[in-house]
């Protein structure tokens, strides 16, 4: 892939939809009007055509290579975002009871959506809410549950569960904001799902990776479009998929393979996060409240000692080409999302800006 940095690209710390690798966007730009000599763009062809089917299969094969996904797992390219999976997974997997771990805004939402359906007994197996979601709770799952749901990385609160819970039931994990950020062992999970717009590609696509053993349990009320078994049998083409998002995700997978895969990208991600947390920790002006061992390597929330300076920080950082640093409204302060496509140089530039701002205002 072409590796020229386009000169006008800013450093983008947006939490999602997030930064995409410049070489991927250049390739998409190159192919926009004429996809490989076909005289049309990828967006303008049938998803049933041989060319598109080959593209879709290549994207899946590259993802399987990247994440080392065994054949016993189905990989689905769906729509509706991670939020629709909050309901879909319940309709597909819940027989009687399931437990949820509450570690931040997203897992709390998943729990709420599961309860809303009234399809069975949904309980909380541990919550860190009373700490303001700054640490990880003890997990106490019930016997005989159909699955345990948790969120590996809480995008809003900046807390990450680095160790997979060891329990005797299928694990269902929302990996929307940490998928592809470092190697994981897919075999430890019953199901993994992720909205694409953080670390995979543009919005509109949702990945589901599911142990085939868990297929075939869907409740009767489950729409066919949301039924993982039906979608597995139709290669995620039960209806028209998000063809362009799928194509771009495929380019991101190729880019990740060129970077050396998830081991290499994981090392870079750890280094980026360490750069930022180390700087925050040595400063009296900036702070991050999350327990050191659970600090997210993808989303770094931080506050300024004087919140009346927030607006000036945002205005000046944006003028310096450091974009989208405003924290989520439920947490306040700032947040730097440093996904795969955000390079070390962006983090270095952010730290240099923060140091300078502190010197002038602190
Ligand atoms: C962004 C996000 C979601 C919601 O994703 P949508 O695709 O907007 O539904 C859910 N969970 C996590 C962890 C997220 O980061």
Pocket test of ligand 1: the residue of 79, 106, 159, 339 to mutate, having most ligand atoms within 8 Å of its CB, is 106
The residue contributing the CA closest to ligand 1 atom 10 is 82
Distances 349 to 281, 315, 323, 341 between C-alpha atoms, Å: 17, 16, 12, 15
Which atom in ligand 1 lies closest to the alpha carbon of residue 206? 7
Give the distance (Å) from ligand 1 centre to CA of residue 178: 11
Residue 287: phi and psi, rounded to 5, are -145, 155
The residue contributing the CA closest to ligand 1 atom 2 is 176
Residue 97, C-beta contacts closer than 8 angstroms, at least 6 positions apart = 120, 121, 122, 123, 142, 144, 145, 146
The residue contributing the CA closest to ligand 1 atom 1 is 176
Centroid of chain to Cα 283: 29
Q: Where are the beta strands (DSSP E) in the chain?
A: 11-12, 73-78, 97-102, 121-127, 148-151, 153-154, 159-160, 171-174, 191-195, 206-211, 286-287, 299-304, 322-323, 334-337
Tell me whether residue 174 is one of the annotated catalytic residues: yes
Q: Give the span between the Cα atoms of 49 and 29, in whole angstroms.
A: 22
Asked whether the beta carbons of 196 and 174 are under 8 A apart, the reply is no
The residue contributing the CA closest to ligand 1 atom 5 is 82
Q: Which of 146, 198, 246, 289 is catalytic?
A: 198
Q: Give the tokens for residue 266.
A: 């994981």
Q: Report CA torsion sign: 341, 347, 348, 353.
A: positive
Asked whether the beta carbons of 179 and 191 are under 8 A apart, the reply is no
Which atom in ligand 1 lies closest to the alpha carbon of residue 203? 7
Q: Produce one character per residue of 290-324: b if its CB has 16 or more CB atoms within 10 Å, e if not.
A: beeebbbbbbbbbbbeeeebbeebbebbeebebbb
Residue 128, C-beta contacts closer than 8 angstroms, at least 6 positions apart = 102, 103, 104, 134, 135, 136, 137, 159
Give the distance (Å) from ligand 1 centre to CA of residue 301: 17
Pocket of ligand 1, beta carbon within 6 A = 16, 81-83, 106, 151, 155, 174, 176-177, 195, 198
pLDDT along the chain (362 residues), means of 10: 67 98 97 97 98 98 98 98 98 98 98 98 98 97 98 98 96 98 98 98 98 98 98 98 98 98 98 98 97 98 97 98 96 97 98 97 79
Q: Give the tokens for residue 311.
A: 């607006």
The residue contributing the CA closest to ligand 1 atom 8 is 81
Tell me whether residue 106 is one of the annotated catalytic residues: yes
Give the distance (Å) from ligand 1 centre to CA of residue 5: 29
User: DSSP character for 318?
Assistant: H
Which atom in ligand 1 lies closest to the alpha carbon of residue 83? 9
Residue-wise DSSP of 49-102: SHHHHHHHHHHHHHHHHHHT--TTEEEEEE-SHHHHHHHHHHHHH-SSEEEEEE
Pocket test of ligand 1: the residue of 161, 173, 177, 197 to mutate, having most ligand atoms within 8 Å of its CB, is 177
Give the distance (Å) from ligand 1 centre to CA of residue 165: 21
Q: Which of 106, 246, 255, 326 is catalytic?
A: 106
Q: Which of 311, 67, 307, 95 is nearest to 208 (CA)?
A: 67
HSE of 346, CA atoms in CB hemisphere, 13 A: 27
Give the distance (Å) from ligand 1 centre to CA of residue 9: 25
Distances 313 to 157, 264, 304 between C-alpha atoms, Å: 20, 33, 9
């Amino acid at each position: 892939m072409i590796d020229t940095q386009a000169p006008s690209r800013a450093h983008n710390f947006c939490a999602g939809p997030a930064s995409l690798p410049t070489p991927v966007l250049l390739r998409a730009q190159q192919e926009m009007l004429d996809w490989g000599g076909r005289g049309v763009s990828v967006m303008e062809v049938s998803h049933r055509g041989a060319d598109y089917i080959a593209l879709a299969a290549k994207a899946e094969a590259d993802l399987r290579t990247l994440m080392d996904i065994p054949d016993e797992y189905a990989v689905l390219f769906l729509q509706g975002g991670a939020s629709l999976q909050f309901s879909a997974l319940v309709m597909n997997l819940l027989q009687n009871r399931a437990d949820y771990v509450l570690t931040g805004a997203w897992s709390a939402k998943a729990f709420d959506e599961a309860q809303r359906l009234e399809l069975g007994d949904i309980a909380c197996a541990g919550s860190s809410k009373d700490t303001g979601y700054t640490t990880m709770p003890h997990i106490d799952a019930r016997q005989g549950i159909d699955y345990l749901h948790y969120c590996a990385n809480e995008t809003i609160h900046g807390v990450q569960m680095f160790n997979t819970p060891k329990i005797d039931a299928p694990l269902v994990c929302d990996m929307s904001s940490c998928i592809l950020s470092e190697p994981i062992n897919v075999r430890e999970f019953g199901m993994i799902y992720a909205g694409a717009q953080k670390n995979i590609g543009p919005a509109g696509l949702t990945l589901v990776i599911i142990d085939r053993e868990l297929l075939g349990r869907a409740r009767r009320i489950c729409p066919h479009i949301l039924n993982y078994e039906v979608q597995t049998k139709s290669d995620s083409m039960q209806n028209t998929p998000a063809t362009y998002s799928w194509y771009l995700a495929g380019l991101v997978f190729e880019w990740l393979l060129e970077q050396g895969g998830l081991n290499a990208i994981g090392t870079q991600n750890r280094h980026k996060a360490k750069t930022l947390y180390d700087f925050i920790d040595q400063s009296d002006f900036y702070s991050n409240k999350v327990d050191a061992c659970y600090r997210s390597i993808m989303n770094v929330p931080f506050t300024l000692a004087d919140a009346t300076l927030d607006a000036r920080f945002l205005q000046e950082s944006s003028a310096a080409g450091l974009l989208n640093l405003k924290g989520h409204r439920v947490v306040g302060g700032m947040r730097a999302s440093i996904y795969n496509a955000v390079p070390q140089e962006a983090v270095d530039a952010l730290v240099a800006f923060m140091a300078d701002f502190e010197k002038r205002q602190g």
